[in-house]
Structure 1
Amino acid sequence: MRAATRQVEVFILLDGYASQHLDKHIIHQWKSAGIHFRWFWPLLKSKKFYLGRRLHHKVIVIDAAIGMAGGINISNRYNDIDGKKAWLDRALLVEGQAALKLHIICRDMWSKAYWKKTQQQKEDHEWVKGVVPEAECMVRVRRNDWVQGQNQISRSYVEMFRHAQSRIIVLSSYFLPGSILRKQMAQAAARGVTIKIIVGGVSDVQIARLAEQYMYRWLFKNKIQIYEYQDTILHGKLATYDGVWMTDGSYNVNRISAYASVELNMDVRNETFAARVENELEEIIKNNCIQIVEENYFQHHGFLRRCWQRAAYESIRLIFFLFTFYFKQEKETGRD
């Protein structure tokens, strides 16, 4: 609101039903201050309603020159307040051409040009130049929206598992990879790549936590290391491999992000920066995680507990099916 009083044009685009709890008085204040406000895919007000299709982006762009994207929502949960430790999350700050690409994406989603099926939209995923203090780097903005035929972030993860030669670290809340990513993970592990997965030791969604634990037996079978973050709730979504590449954004490693939500990540290809991110993840593993090993897992998770985990896993699969079974990919140019 203060920015708007300085004649800055402020645009706020929020998900049509994940943010419905927002006080209407606040929205009224924004509009009265001259802020442009719009819902993405309003609940029960869109011509085509896809339950489960959410705007999961967390993006801000300033003057088309500076941008930030990651997993961080605008919420007190991401600050140390009243003695409560912030959730673990990350966002990537970019300048230059990468920020301009974020600006164009946000502008088009606001103006609904996003819904046009154009060749430019399909091909708009090349690497552009960015800058880190030590050297030039390459940044690639990636999006997932199955209805619009976009699966760039999923392909980035597939590329990571295929190209890695020595090591991969994935930090992921709600880690429930589908069959395609599981196959790629298993193949990478089989050729000797060390894979470390950091998941939450505590979760804000208990059914997701139980379903994740059901996946542990598959991870053990494929010699993939599991670490549970202990300090607070883990909400981050980033990965790195071989100290040369990293990705960060809103994409969770599960089928909801792959086939339902509208997601945005940024890939960075730069040894200096990727190595820095990898070292930070290793520090998190060392100082804030416990490793889950097969022997202790079966010792502390009896038959009944494993039944609950299986039930949670199958329930999430059913929920996903109910949310997405009727989704149709758009084939023709048009607005919604």
Structure 2
Amino acid sequence: MKRPAFSLPRSSRWVPGNQFELLENGEDFFPRVFNAITKARREVMLETFILFDDKIGQELHAALLAAAQRGVEVHVLVDGFGSPDLPDTFVGSLVDAGVRFRIFDPGRRFLGQRLNMLRRMHRKIVVVDGELGFIGGINYSADHVADFGPEAKQDYAVQVRGPIVAQMQHFTREAVLHRNERKRHPALDAASQSHAGTAHAIFVTRDNHDHQSDIERHYRVALRSARHRVVIANAYFFPGYRFIREMRRAAKRGADVRLILQGQPDMPIVKTAAGLLYDHLLRAGVRIYEYCDRPLHGKVALVDDDWSTVGSSNLDPLSLSLNLEANVIIRDRAFNDHLYGRLSHLMENSCKQIEAVAPGRWNGLRLLRSYAVFHLMRWFPAWAGWLPKHQPTITLANPGTAAAEPTGSATA
């Protein structure tokens, strides 16, 4: 398989001088993003898994359209599986205004059904003028705002300023721009960017070539160093053996390890799968909370007093072994403390704590089930490599027709 032209070096170097602001749910996130696009002067780079033609999608559409019409260079990349059936009028009006609208591996249907369900472009990134960035788990759909009703999602993102934004810009441009386009409009250099705050950060991605386990690796390193507290809030939780082992070890050496999962899942199998791990974690001292107000869609975590992460990566086989993901790792006491406060509020007011089963009620079947799931998970990364691989394409919508033509390959 042909390698992508661009691959970030292994993400291990902390970049100082950044400022992060936590954005909770669409009520915080969408106004910030739309306002940033409205004020864009030169360039907007936007990647998302889901873009729907609903009230949120229409607001984004209007902001992108206005930016393109005033001469801003606008690039949009959506996942073909996550953003199906966008109307020709939606895409066509953007393309006619000059927006470079691309679709990641739209694939073909078989008997009316989409078959490209695995290896998704799951990132959610926005970079405006190389100076302001957004990254997290929030898609562009109406189910990320509270007035959607009981199925509205609880989710998180961050607004980013500082040198790390230049890395985000470089990455998003390399993902979609041709070499001659990149030469005409070079990305900003992180070293030349002025400091915006005190946070150190790493921009870390997951692909299926050189960075297959980078995000999980950062989690495991942080868990290994945990001394007094760990809080992980993740919508889809079914990680590998080594991840679970580090959580158990942290709890056994005295760290207060807490896990916030879905109690009102958007897909019932999510709760069933995570529930298979409960006994194994609880017996090691991990505290488990189920968020019950509405579906949890967040992908955030913190360790001790200054390590945090926010991004698109779940802790399940799809995100850890198949999807294309992006997170930021943050070292900043103020951000860590604020995130801890918000997650504590969730645990105290909207969660049900899962109690360990009393020894007398333990039965052999549940013990066998927990043991089997825990140890079988260690083999999943190898199994993922056996799944069918294909050469995904990024297609570019044509002016006037909203049809698409292939423009290049992407990491699979």
Task: Give me the TM-score of the superposition, normalised by structure 2.
Answer: 0.67
Does the 8 Å contact 2:81/2:116 carry over to 1? no
Matched, 1:13 2:77: yes
Distance in 2, matches of 1:54 and 1:169, equals 27
Partner of 2:324: 262
Distance in 1, matches of 2:217 and 2:369, equals 32
Partner of 1:173: 235
Q: Which amino acid aligns with 2:124?
A: K
Work out which of the residue numbers 249, 269, 281 in structure 2 matches 1:187: 249
Partner of 1:200: 262
Deviations 1:168-215 (A, max 9, x none): 000000111111101111221221111100001111111122111111
Work out which of the residue numbers 50, 53, 56 in structure 1 matches 2:119: 53
Distance in 1, matches of 2:150 and 2:117, equals 33
Other structure's SS at 2:143 match: helix
Coordinate RMSD, CA, aligned: 3.7
Work out which of the residue numbers 386, 393, 398 in structure 2 matches 1:325: 386
Work out which of the residue numbers 22, 25, 28 in structure 1 matches 2:86: 22
Partner of 1:109: 175
Deviation of the 1:246 alpha carbon: 0.3
Deviations 1:123-174 (A, max 9, x none): xx99x98644xxx111110111133444221111011111111110000001
Matched, 1:292 2:354: yes
Other structure's SS at 2:270 match: helix
Other structure's SS at 1:189 match: helix
Partner of 1:117: none
Distance in 1, matches of 2:295 and 2:350, equals 12
Matched, 1:147 2:175: no
Q: Given the superposition, is the C-alpha separation of residues 218 and 305 from structure 1 closer, same or farther in structure 2, using an over 3 Å criterion? A: closer
Counterparts in 2 of 1:222-301, with a 5 A limit?
222-295=284-357
Does the 8 Å contact 2:222/2:303 carry over to 1? yes
Does the 8 Å contact 1:174/1:254 carry over to 2? yes
Other structure's SS at 2:121 match: coil
Partner of 1:73: 139
Distance in 1, matches of 2:296 and 2:257, equals 19
Other structure's SS at 1:239 match: strand
Q: Which amino acid aligns with 1:275?
A: D
Partner of 2:395: none
Distance in 2, matches of 1:109 and 1:93, equals 21
Does the 8 Å contact 2:121/2:324 carry over to 1? yes
Other structure's SS at 2:147 match: coil
Question: Which range moves more in the overlay, 256-265 or 80-89?
Answer: 80-89
Distance in 2, matches of 1:309 and 1:232, equals 27
Partner of 1:88: 154
Q: Which amino acid aligns with 2:106?
A: P
Distance in 2, matches of 1:309 and 1:163, equals 26
Q: What residue ranges of structure 2 are gaps of 5+ in the alignment?
A: 1-64, 110-114, 180-189, 392-407
Q: Which amino acid aligns with 1:17?
A: F
Q: Given the superposition, is the C-alpha separation of residues 308 and 167 from structure 1 closer, same or farther in structure 2, using an over 3 Å criterion? A: closer
Partner of 1:64: 130
Q: Given the superposition, is the C-alpha separation of residues 130 and 259 from structure 1 closer, same or farther in structure 2, using an over 3 Å criterion? A: farther
Distance in 1, matches of 2:390 and 2:210, equals 6
Other structure's SS at 2:238 match: coil
Matched, 1:38 2:99: no
Task: Give me the TM-score of the superposition, normalised by structure 1.
Answer: 0.81
Other structure's SS at 1:43 match: coil
Does the 8 Å contact 1:148/1:329 carry over to 2? no
Distance in 1, matches of 2:143 and 2:366, equals 30
Deviations 1:23-62 (A, max 9, x none): 23311121112111111233259xxx98611111011111
State the number of aligned residues. Answer: 314
Distance in 1, matches of 2:130 and 2:224, equals 34
Q: Which amino acid aligns with 1:56?
A: H
Q: Given the superposition, is the C-alpha separation of residues 83 and 208 from structure 1 closer, same or farther in structure 2, using an over 3 Å criterion? A: closer
Q: What residue ranges of structure 1 are gaps of 5+ in the alignment?
A: 114-124
Question: Which range moves more in the overlay, 303-312 or 205-214?
Answer: 303-312
Matched, 1:100 2:166: yes
Partner of 1:221: 283
Does the 8 Å contact 1:226/1:292 carry over to 2? yes
Question: Which range moves more in the overlay, 32-41 or 191-200?
Answer: 32-41
